[in-house]
């Protein structure tokens, strides 16, 4: 079977026709918002209903916005939650107060001593420089597209980091991270797919979960941990 045919088969199996509805922007601030999203997802997706029955309401997972929130996401790249938390505790001690000018004033040795890799030091410095120059305006209201473009223009920040910042630091209820490996594996298991969906496959599959893709992602992550 060709890759194009295989991909079409995955998406067709996981999606159902639906009528497009106007999407009212929502933010996730409390566990009550998580519950509202889970209830809505249960009504439109049998797979989400099964997952919710199994794992219950997923964690809130809200972080600070702004430079400190972005830095925390960068620190957590490709690390377990426990490892990321341990390193982050040391980083905030080394950079106090935690803002762009203070981070830029630290030596590489200080930042590496807190547990950061050289690549993450480079990324945090690039982000701090962008904030200081005004190229990255994390504390201003702007469109998702404008913010995403600015984030992706920073060395070391890719789609995953931009998506996670949108989801957990801005609390966008419809935020989603299709490139996340755990989400792809969880979706394969939950939807009984023959193979792991690609990021693009998952984007198409997740259309059924709008405008609560952020809650769907949390449910899938909880399901992934439950099945681990």
Shared domain check, 70 and 52: no
pLDDT tens digits, 172-190: 999 999 999 999 999 999 9
Six-digit token string for 183: 């989400």
pLDDT tens digits, 36-60: 999 999 999 999 999 999 999 999 9
Shared domain check, 183 and 163: no
Residue 5: pLDDT over 60: no
The structure tokens 């106007």 sit at 22
The pTM for the full model equals 0.86
Paired with 172 in beta bridges are 27
Shared domain check, 154 and 94: yes
Domain total in the chain: 2
Domain boundary among 122, 141, 169: 169
Six-digit token string for 156: 């070391």
Residue 216 lies in a domain: yes
CATH of the domain at 92: 1.10.340.30
Residue 22 lies in a domain: no
Q: Please give the C-alpha separations between residue 120 and each of 37, 77, 132, in angstroms, as whole numbers.
A: 34, 9, 18
Paired with 27 in beta bridges are 172
CATH of the domain at 182: 1.10.1670.40
Domain boundary among 123, 147, 169: 169
- DSSP label of 77: T
Outline where 114-180 has alpha helix (H): 118-133, 144-152, 159-164
Residue 1: pLDDT over 90: no
Shared domain check, 71 and 156: yes
pLDDT band at 154; cut points 50, 70, 90: very high
Shared domain check, 74 and 90: yes
Domain boundary among 146, 169, 192: 169
| Residue 54 belongs to domain spanning | 29-59+174-227
- Contact indicator for 136, 154 with CB cutoff of 8 Å: yes
Separation of alpha carbons 141 and 161, rounded Å: 19
Six-digit token string for 169: 């630091």
Of 115, 65, 56, residue with least CA distance to 90: 115
């Amino acid at each position: 079977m060709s890759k194009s045919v295989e991909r079409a088969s995955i998406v067709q199996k996981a999606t159902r026709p639906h009528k497009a509805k106007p999407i009212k922007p929502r933010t996730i601030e409390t566990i009550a918002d998580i519950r509202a999203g889970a209830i809505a997802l249960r009504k439109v997706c049998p797979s989400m209903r099964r997952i919710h029955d199994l794992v219950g309401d997923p964690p809130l997972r809200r972080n600070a916005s702004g430079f400190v929130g972005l830095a925390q996401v960068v620190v957590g790249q490709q690390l377990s939650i426990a490892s990321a938390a341990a390193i982050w505790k040391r980083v905030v001690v080394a950079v106090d107060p935690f803002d762009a000018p203070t981070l830029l004033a630290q030596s590489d040795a200080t930042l590496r001593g807190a547990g950061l890799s050289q690549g993450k030091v480079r990324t945090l410095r690039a982000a701090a420089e962008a904030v200081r120059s005004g190229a990255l305006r994390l504390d201003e209201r702007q469109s998702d597209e404008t913010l995403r473009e600015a984030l992706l223009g920073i060395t070391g920040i890719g789609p995953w980091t931009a998506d996670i910042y949108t989801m957990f630091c801005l609390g966008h209820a419809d935020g989603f991270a299709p490139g996340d490996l755990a989400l792809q594996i969880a979706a394969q298991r939950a939807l009984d797919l023959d193979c792991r969906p690609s990021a693009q496959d998952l984007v198409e599959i997740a259309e059924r979960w709008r405008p609560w893709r952020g809650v769907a992602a949390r449910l899938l992550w909880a399901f992934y941990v439950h099945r681990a």
